[in-house]
């Protein structure tokens, strides 16, 4: 019993070619393997490139940050000079401004926030700067303060104020940050951008100066929230559909950040080349794999087809073809087995044919002998009939006594005659046999006064001789009985004799014999009667394993049923 799952799988198997399946798995596995290896390799390369970029860009950012811090420190020291006696004047301040040329102007204010001197022509002495953030912070904390950047209302360039507490007030230098952009653009760079942002995120220097003038800001960029609170770091981020790798380092003074932005494309350029190469190699490999697998599949299919064709020849019985297999070595044993199997089948077939002709000849000889036996039995029975007829001679009494016996012997003789005339010695058509018996009896009956009409309906049934002889004797007895006793009286009714034979679906043979004579005497019981014919009938029915029944008239109606052993429906 095959389980449904197994049957379903078996059904699937039957629809897939093993070679195709193997080829597909090989291709899929090859592609998958190469993809996984490429991915892992690429990932490792990317990690290494990222580590290298992080180190390189962070070091660069830190170096620039350090330089800017040192420059700011220098400018702060310059402002401190203004607080010292020799420089605490408009001319001293101007001298400092000349040295530290990035200062747009320098101003000195008293503790009340009123300007005492300034190098700015637009600003008047005693202008109130007490509300300016740089003044408030420096005055409150007495430490150097670097303001957020802003655009100067005079130059429209980014500016920051460095405010330094000095004895007697605060010195503030308005630092033009354009110098920072000039410094950055002077650094040689290939595929990255350098910028400086202030603590609020505005660019105060950029290798693209327009970013500064437009007051572009990084405040909304995700990396900036991390950078604000760290000394240095790096992060991948996306801007305007481009992915960047951003490294930053803090400029200690001023809380500015030096930012190195590099597109990930340029960082992973070599990884991209590797990826493209890997894809190319993979595609070539896949193409070659597919081509090779297709060739192998074709060769294997060719070998299998050769074996299929060879086995087909064997099925068709063409044994004169030999197999010259030149395929794969692992299919060679199969081909050899085929060849040996072919030879074995050929040898057995030849033996079978020889045996068959011997058996046929033997059988034909046996049939001839059997027919001869049946012929001799029939002749012997005819001889017995002749002897009995001679013995009876002209004596009517003896003739009457021997008539029944002669009829019975004739019935048996007839069957042997039919058998030796027949092609089939094992079976006999019971209908034909009954027709011959019936006609013979009626022929013998023609000398009687009344000739009954015959209604005969016989289904052709083939039975063996062991069934046919008892059956023939039964018919002979019952018909003889009817011919003897049913139509002896002259009556107006026309005499009718009915014989029917049929085989039902249960392989049971029914024999129906009736006449329209006066019927059996009242109280007649076939089992208690001492007549030979009746005893013979009952004995033969019993021998056939059947049953008999006398049906109500008119006339005498016999129904005999018996199993049709080895019976079959004959010619229609």
CB of 14 to other proteins, least distance (A): 7
What are 498's strand-pairing partners? 455, 514
CB of 123 to other proteins, least distance (A): 8
- Distance CA(192)–CA(269), nearest Å, equals 13
Which one of residues 73, 128, 191, 340 is an interface residue with other proteins (CB under 8 A)? 128
Binding mask 213-242 for other proteins (x = CB under 8 A): xxx-x-xx----------------------
Which one of residues 113, 327, 553, 570 is an interface residue with other proteins (CB under 8 A)? 113
- Distance CA(201)–CA(215), nearest Å, equals 10
CB of 295 to other proteins, least distance (A): 11
Choose between 120 and 432: whose C-beta lies nearer to other proteins. Answer: 120
What are 461's strand-pairing partners? 569
Choose between 132 and 435: whose C-beta lies nearer to other proteins. Answer: 132
- Distance CA(428)–CA(110), nearest Å, equals 151
What φ, ψ does residue 204 adopt, rounded to 5°?
Answer: -110, -10
CB 458 within 8 A of CB 510: no
Exposure of 193 in the CB half-sphere (CA atoms within 13 A): 16
- Distance CA(297)–CA(308), nearest Å, equals 16
Q: Which is nearest to 253 in space by CA: 89, 506, 73? A: 73
Binding mask 243-282 for other proteins (x = CB under 8 A): ----------------------------------------
Binding mask 305-344 for other proteins (x = CB under 8 A): x--x---x--x-----------------------------
Q: Which of residues 133-172 bind other proteins (CB under 8 A)?
A: 133, 148, 151, 153, 156
Stretch that binds other proteins, among 81-89, 98-106, 122-130, 458-466 (CB under 8 A): 122-130
Which one of residues 68, 69, 227, 293 is an interface residue with other proteins (CB under 8 A)? 293
What are 557's strand-pairing partners? 514, 551
- Distance CA(552)–CA(534), nearest Å, equals 18
What are 513's strand-pairing partners? 499, 558
What φ, ψ does residue 173 adopt, rounded to 5°?
Answer: -110, 125
CB of 87 to other proteins, least distance (A): 25
Please return the burial class of 195, using the count of CB atoms within 10 Å of its CB with bins 0-12, 13-18 and 19+.
buried
Stretch that binds other proteins, among 131-139, 229-237, 338-346, 375-383 (CB under 8 A): 131-139
Note the residues at the interface with other proteins (CB under 8 A): 14-17, 19-21, 23-24, 27-28, 31, 113, 121-122, 124, 126-133, 148, 151, 153, 156, 199-201, 210, 213-215, 217, 219-220, 290, 293-294, 297, 301, 305, 308, 312, 315
């Amino acid at each position: 019993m095959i389980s449904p799952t197994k049957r379903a799988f078996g059904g699937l198997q039957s629809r897939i070619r093993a070679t195709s399946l193997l080829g597909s798995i090989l291709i899929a596995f090859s592609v998958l393997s190469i993809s996984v290896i490429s991915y892992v390799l690429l990932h490792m390369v990317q990690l290494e490139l990222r580590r290298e970029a992080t180190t390189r860009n962070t070091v660069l950012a830190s170096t620039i940050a350090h330089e800017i811090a040192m420059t700011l420190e220098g400018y702060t020291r310059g402002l401190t000079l203004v607080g010292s006696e020799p420089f605490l004047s408009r001319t001293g301040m101007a001298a400092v401004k000349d040295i530290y040329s990035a200062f747009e102007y320098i101003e000195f204010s008293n503790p009340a926030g009123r300007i005492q001197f300034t190098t700015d022509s637009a600003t008047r002495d005693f202008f109130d700067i007490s509300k300016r953030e740089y003044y408030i912070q420096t005055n409150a904390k007495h430490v150097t303060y670097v303001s957020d950047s802003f655009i100067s209302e005079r130059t429209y360039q980014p500016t920051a104020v460095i405010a330094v507490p000095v004895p007697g007030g605060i010195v503030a230098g308005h630092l033009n940050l354009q110098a920072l952009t000039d410094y950055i653009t002077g650094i040689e760079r290939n595929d990255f951008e350098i910028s400086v942002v202030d603590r609020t995120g505005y660019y105060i220097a950029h290798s693209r100066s327009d970013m500064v003038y437009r007051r572009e800001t990084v405040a909304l960029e995700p990396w900036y929230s991390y950078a604000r609170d760290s000394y240095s770091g790096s992060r991948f981020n996306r801007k305007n559909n481009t992915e960047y790798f951003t490294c930053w380092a803090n400029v200690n003074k001023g809380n500015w950040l030096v930012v190195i932005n590099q597109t990930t494309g340029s960082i992973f350029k070599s990884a991209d080349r590797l990826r493209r190469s890997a894809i190319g190699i993979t595609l070539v490999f896949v193409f070659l794999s597919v081509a090779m697998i297709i060739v192998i599949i074709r060769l294997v299919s060719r070998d299998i087809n050769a074996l299929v064709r060879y086995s087909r020849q064997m099925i068709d019985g063409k044994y004169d073809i030999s197999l010259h297999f030149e395929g794969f070595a692992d299919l060679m044993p199969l081909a050899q087995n085929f060849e040996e199997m072919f030879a074995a089948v050929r040898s057995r077939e030849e033996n079978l044919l020889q045996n068959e002709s011997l058996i046929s000849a033997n059988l034909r000889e046996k049939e001839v002998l059997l027919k001869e036996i049946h012929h001799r039995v029939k002749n012997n029975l005819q001889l017995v009939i002749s002897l009995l007829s001679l013995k009876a001679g002209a004596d009517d009494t003896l003739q009457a006594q021997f008539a029944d016996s002669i009829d019975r012997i004739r019935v048996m003789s007839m069957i042997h005659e039919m058998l030796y005339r027949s092609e089939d010695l094992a079976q006999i058509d019971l209908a034909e046999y009954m027709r011959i018996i019936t006609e013979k009896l009626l022929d013998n009956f023609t000398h009687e006064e009344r000739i009954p009409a015959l209604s005969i309906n016989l289904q052709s049934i083939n039975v063996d001789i062991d069934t046919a002889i008892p059956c023939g004797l039964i018919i002979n007895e019952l018909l003889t009985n009817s011919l003897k006793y049913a139509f002896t009286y002259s009556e107006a009714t026309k005499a009718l004799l009915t014989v029917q034979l049929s085989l039902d679906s249960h392989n049971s043979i029914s024999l129906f014999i009736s006449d329209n004579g006066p019927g059996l005497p009242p109280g007649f019981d076939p089992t208690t009667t001492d007549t030979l014919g009746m005893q013979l009938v009952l004995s033969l029915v019993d021998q056939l394993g059947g049953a008999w029944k006398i049906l109500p008239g008119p006339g005498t109606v016999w129904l005999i049923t018996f199993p049709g052993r080895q019976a079959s429906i004959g010619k229609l």
